[in-house]
């Protein structure tokens, strides 16, 4: 009987000590949380620069706008599926249903939000069998109190041309397949119905043929004009620049053409659908900047119908 009482007493003491330790751990965690840096701006630099600037909402409805990236990164632990589709050109008119019956280029991608301000992604494209990897970071977000008047966003993309080695000629090395794109974009939502973005990018190809340069700097303009709670007119313009300072020894024979696109967007909380006409078909930004030879305003041979679809899942 005495042994049983002692055993119960020991068990009671163990339970008391365990509860005490749990209470101490919870208190320490609460203290750590209270002293953690505040980042109400939900951006990388929000930890140090704009600590109390809650970001505005709804500048864009999707992370994509026609052929360009936007500032949008879904909330942390969100998976985004995206489909890009470009039909054939419109030159054959109704007989080819303005390109819909012709050949097409398709890209399928998945993006994952690691935090509220950082997203990684992967995509695969039909043309050139491109495999691309992306990184998007919100450096700053436009705040409601206007302490940050604009969004500042970085986007980078690394693509691999997965076609057979024969396409790369003599002296083949695996890194001949690589092409890179880096962009810094500034976005401002001027009012509830108008958002505009200006971006500047640097593109580099490890290997090119005699018709192209290795490097190209471009400007990017895109925007949205919203005319109902779910609908908007969207547009983009990619403008490759001719800069002598980065031009190589040979004369640049086929400079890339500007890419213009305009269309319609409809969106819900988890979906966005965009249909448009544009002049670029490569679906990966460094290829659109360096290799687009379609002049939108020249003829219907240079105009393509396309659409983008995005879908979000939260975890």
Residue 58 is part of a domain; what is its CATH number?
Answer: 2.40.160.40
Check whether residue 98 and residue 75 sit in a common domain: yes
Q: What is the pLDDT of residue 36?
A: 57
The percent of residues above 70 in pLDDT, for the chain, comes to 86
Q: What is the pLDDT of residue 9?
A: 55
Check whether residue 152 and residue 20 sit in a common domain: no
Averaged pLDDT for residues 238-266: 83
Check whether residue 92 and residue 209 sit in a common domain: yes
Dist. CA 3–CA 14, nearest whole Å: 17
Range of the domain at 289: 44-314
Residue 201 has pLDDT above 80, yes or no: yes
- Compare 58 and 257 and report the one with higher pLDDT: 257
Model confidence band, residue 4 (pLDDT cutoffs 50, 70, 90): very low
Check whether residue 80 and residue 101 sit in a common domain: yes
Burial 152-190 (b: 16+ CB within 10 A, else e): bbbbbbebebeeeeeebeeeeeeebbbbebbbebbbbbe
Give, in degrees to the nearest 5, the angle at Cα 132 between 58 and 185: 40
Model confidence band, residue 13 (pLDDT cutoffs 50, 70, 90): low
Model confidence band, residue 187 (pLDDT cutoffs 50, 70, 90): very high
Check whether residue 2 and residue 122 sit in a common domain: no
Least confident of 182-196, 243-257, 269-283: 243-257
Check whether residue 75 and residue 197 sit in a common domain: yes
- Compare 110 and 18 and report the one with higher pLDDT: 110
Averaged pLDDT for residues 252-280: 91
Check whether residue 158 and residue 9 sit in a common domain: no
Least confident of 8-12, 106-110, 123-127, 225-229: 8-12
Q: What is the DSSP string of 111-143?
A: EEESSSSEEEEEEEESGGGEEEEEEEEEEE--B
Check whether residue 176 and residue 92 sit in a common domain: yes
Model confidence band, residue 3 (pLDDT cutoffs 50, 70, 90): very low
Dist. CA 168–CA 175, nearest whole Å: 11
Dist. CA 179–CA 176, nearest whole Å: 8
Q: How far is CA 234 from the centre of its chain?
A: 16
Check whether residue 82 and residue 145 sit in a common domain: yes
Q: What is the pLDDT of residue 109?
A: 96
Q: What is the pLDDT of residue 60?
A: 94
Q: How many residues in the chain?
A: 315
What one-character DSSP code corresponds to residue 295?
-
Q: Please answer whether residues 41 and 141 qualify as being in contact, where contact means their C-beta atoms are separated by less than 8 angstroms.
A: yes
Q: What is the pLDDT of residue 97?
A: 86
Residue 214: Cβ within 10 Å count = 14
Q: What is the DSSP string of 217-286?
A: EEEEEEEEEE-SSSEEEEEEEEEE---GGG--SS---SPPPPEEEEEEEEE-SSEEEEEEEES----SHH
* Full-model pTM: 0.83
Check whether residue 23 and residue 164 sit in a common domain: no
Averaged pLDDT for residues 9-26: 52
Check whether residue 201 and residue 182 sit in a common domain: yes
Check whether residue 125 and residue 6 sit in a common domain: no
Look at the chain and report how many structural domains it folds into.
2
């Amino acid at each position: 009987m005495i042994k049983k009482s002692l055993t119960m007493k020991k068990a009671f003491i163990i339970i008391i000590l365990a509860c005490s330790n749990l209470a101490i751990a919870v208190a320490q965690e609460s203290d750590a949380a209270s002293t953690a840096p505040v980042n109400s701006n939900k951006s990388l630099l929000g930890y140090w620069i704009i600590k109390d600037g809650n970001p505005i909402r709804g500048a864009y409805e999707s992370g994509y706008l026609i052929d360009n990236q936007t500032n949008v990164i879904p909330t942390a632990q969100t998976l985004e599926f995206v489909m890009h589709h470009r039909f054939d050109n419109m030159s054959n008119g109704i007989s080819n249903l303005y390109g819909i019956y012709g050949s097409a280029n398709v890209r399928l991608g998945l993006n994952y939000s690691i935090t509220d301000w950082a997203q990684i992604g992967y995509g695969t494209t039909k043309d050139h069998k491109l495999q691309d990897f992306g990184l998007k970071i919100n450096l700053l977000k436009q705040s409601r109190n206007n302490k940050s008047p604009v969004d500042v966003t970085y986007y980078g993309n690394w693509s691999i041309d997965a076609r057979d080695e024969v396409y790369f000629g003599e002296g083949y090395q695996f890194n001949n397949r690589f092409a890179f794109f880096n962009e810094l974009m500034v976005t401002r939502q001027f009012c509830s119905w108008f958002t505009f973005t200006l971006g500047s990018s640097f593109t580099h190809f490890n290997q090119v043929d005699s018709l192209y340069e290795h490097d190209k700097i471009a400007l990017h303009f895109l925007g949205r004009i919203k005319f109902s709670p779910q609908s908007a007119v969207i547009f983009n313009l990619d403008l490759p620049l001719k800069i002598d300072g980065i031009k190589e020894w040979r004369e640049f024979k086929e400079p890339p053409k500007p890419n213009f696109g305009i269309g319609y967007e409809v969106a819900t909380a988890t979906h966005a659908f965009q249909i448009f006409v544009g002049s670029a078909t490569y679906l990966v930004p460094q290829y659109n900047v360096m290799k687009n030879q379609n002049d939108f305003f020249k003829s219907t041979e240079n105009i393509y119908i396309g659409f983008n679809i995005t879908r979000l899942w939260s975890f």
